A and B are shown apart, each in its own frame.
Chain A
Amino acid sequence: MKYFDIIFENKTILLLFWIILILSLMKPWLFVNGILIGSLYALGSIGLSLIYGNLKFANMAHGDFMTLSSYVALALLLFFFPNSEQSPSVGPFTFKYELLIIIPIAVVLIGFLAVLFDKLIYKKLRDLGAAPAAIALTSLGLAVGLRGLIQFIWGTDSTSFPRESKLFWDLPFKVKIPPDMFFCAIVAFIIAIAFYFVLFKTKLGKAIRATSDNPDLARITGINTEKIILYIWFIGGILAATSGILISVQQAIITPVMGWKILIPLFAAVIVGGIGNPIGALMGGLLIGITGELATGWINPSYKPAVYFLVLLIVLLLRPNGILGSKGRQF
């Protein structure tokens, strides 16, 4: 269990672990909320980290891809099922059956859109030998452009998937969970496990890791790295879209700036976990989610971003390459 050894390798990390544990025992409902929210951060940050690990730039458009996926899912839902508002919701959850049909379609669409953007923009920049900073700035431009397009098509007001109000689940230790939150977390964990399986157990996943390690060597070996990059964008798009739609379901709101706002905890999670390491991103996402939620037990929730950066600062002071980051290793 090498991942858990990290907790015991340094006295300060062990102390922080105990502080989080004690705070969690004092307010367990916040800890549970943190895991549930953190799982969605984790999903978003895994995609972000995958792209960074292979293409070596911070994809600033990741958050707006998450937003776009929610709007695309909503548009598809209203197009194919215009009467979904009247249909029954799924068991204890607030969302309607039709959404379960639409989510996979929207997710795959966004995956292909990410591939298209690579072919139209990023591939051209790579061929021109653009520096990672220039590519990151281009992605920032794409982020702003996407947000503008979303506001142009769907307006600036918030909206939501058709839903029905449902009661929270009452669990022991004052833990109250909205059923949707539980559903989203379970889906996020299943997707994260599936992603882990692809990355570590399949030939494609190993080729992705090899390309991340050393693209030139991968090419010499006979791996078509440009094709691998398209797979990376597709997987990254799928992860962003799933995370975006689940967050919209969980928060029962879709706004044009939701993805942009969530980019801060996502980047914090990626850096805390170790840049370019998707497993680290998963751990970082959970840590950011848990600490952010725990903090709301004592401070105003509007200070959550400050807590993310405090966690980021502490982790980097103790482990400059992040939780699972180490020189020369991406995965």
Chain B
Amino acid sequence: MMSKNKTSLEAKNISAGYGEQIIIRNIDLDLHESSITTIIGPNGCGKSTFLKSISGIINPVEGEVSIYGSNVTELNTFELSKKGLGYVPQSENIFPSLSVEDNLKMGGYILSNDDYKKNLEYVLEMFPVLKDKLSDSSSNLSGGQRQMLALSRALMLDPKIIMLDEPTAGLSPIIVDEVLENIISLKKSNLSVLLVEQNAKKALKISDFGAVFSFGKKVIEDEASRILSDKEISKLYLGG
């Protein structure tokens, strides 16, 4: 049994949806320092809704979210970034009318000038491809570069927890591997990573823990290696 690091984020009994329609029901999930947790499941099972409810984009109708023991359920979305929560949505995850540099500036909106410069240096070291494109319009970036910019933007605030919604969607296999490498390096920087992925096998391979969602409920939660090796799960959710 894999030892678990300190709990960074605790989601208890989360139910959420859009308007009257409840999409996810009574979901519990914990994240731990220096670990990657991947949520897998069929389309429409509520993976993205769960991330949105944690980030406050949609308000949970029930449940509680804590970051390092502090209850953040009632906080506004913009205040969660100060608590160390970063989130990269699946699509529309950059500001297309702004330049690459201005996207990063918005990522560090609440930072002082000195902290902004320090963090900018850090993310550009991680994603050197963006260095030459700082003055370019972000709408002209390729799919892979966009994902890197989106991730960089979220990292500008030096989060403790980062949630990534399908970061490899629509990318070529080489770029997918590059993005996954970047995610591994986030874990090494002591971050808790919550990943939602369609490339389920690849994502679980780099993960410490996994959870399977189905019809708006969490049906399995275990170590990623055990989920990968479970034949039944593999047949049902990993394409055999």
Residues of A within 8 A of B (CB): 203, 206-207, 209-210, 212-214, 216-225, 328-331
> Residues of A contacting B56 with CB < 8 Å?
219
Of the candidates B78, B97, B98, the one whose C-beta lies within 8 Å of that of A222 is B78
Query: Considering the chains assembled together, what is the distance between the CA atoms of A207 and B78 in angstroms?
Result: 13
| Minimum C-beta distance from A65 to chain B (A) | 26
Q: Are A220 and B89 in contact (CB under 8 A)?
A: yes
> Residues of B contacting A330 with CB < 8 Å?
97
- Stretch of B42-50, B105-113, B174-182 on the interface side: B105-113
Query: Considering the chains assembled together, what is the distance between the CA atoms of A214 and B94 in angstroms?
Result: 8
Q: Are A213 and B98 in contact (CB under 8 A)?
A: yes
Q: Are B57 and A213 in contact (CB under 8 A)?
A: no
Lowest 10 A-B CB distances belong to which pairs? Answer: A222-B81, A219-B77, A213-B95, A331-B97, A222-B110, A210-B95, A219-B78, A210-B106, A224-B78, A220-B87
> Residues of B contacting A212 with CB < 8 Å?
97
Which B residues, 86 to 106, have Cβ-Cβ distances below 8 Å to chain A? 86-87, 89, 92-98, 102, 105-106
Query: 14 A–B contact pairs at CB < 8 A?
Result: A206-B105, A207-B106, A209-B95, A210-B95, A217-B93, A217-B94, A218-B106, A219-B76, A220-B77, A220-B89, A222-B157, A223-B109, A224-B76, A329-B139
- Interface size (B, Cβ < 8 Å)? 29
Residues of B within 8 A of A (CB): 55-57, 76-78, 80-82, 86-87, 89, 92-98, 102, 105-107, 109-110, 139, 153-154, 157
Query: Considering the chains assembled together, what is the distance between the CA atoms of A224 and B76 in angstroms?
Result: 9
> Residues of A contacting B89 with CB < 8 Å?
216-217, 220
| Minimum C-beta distance from B165 to chain A (A) | 11
Query: Considering the chains assembled together, what is the distance between the CA atoms of A42 and B15 in angstroms?
Result: 48
Q: Are B153 and A206 in contact (CB under 8 A)?
A: no
With known contacts A213-B97, A214-B92, A221–B81 Cβ distance under 8 A: yes
| Minimum C-beta distance from B150 to chain A (A) | 9
| Minimum C-beta distance from B201 to chain A (A) | 29
Name the CB-closest residue of A to B86: A220
Counting chain B CB atoms within 10 Å of each CB, which of A216, A220, A222, A329 scores highest? A220
> Residues of A contacting B106 with CB < 8 Å?
206-207, 210, 218, 221, 223
Q: Are B82 and A328 in contact (CB under 8 A)?
A: no
Q: Are B57 and A219 in contact (CB under 8 A)?
A: yes
> Residues of B contacting A206 with CB < 8 Å?
98, 102, 105-106
| Minimum C-beta distance from B17 to chain A (A) | 14
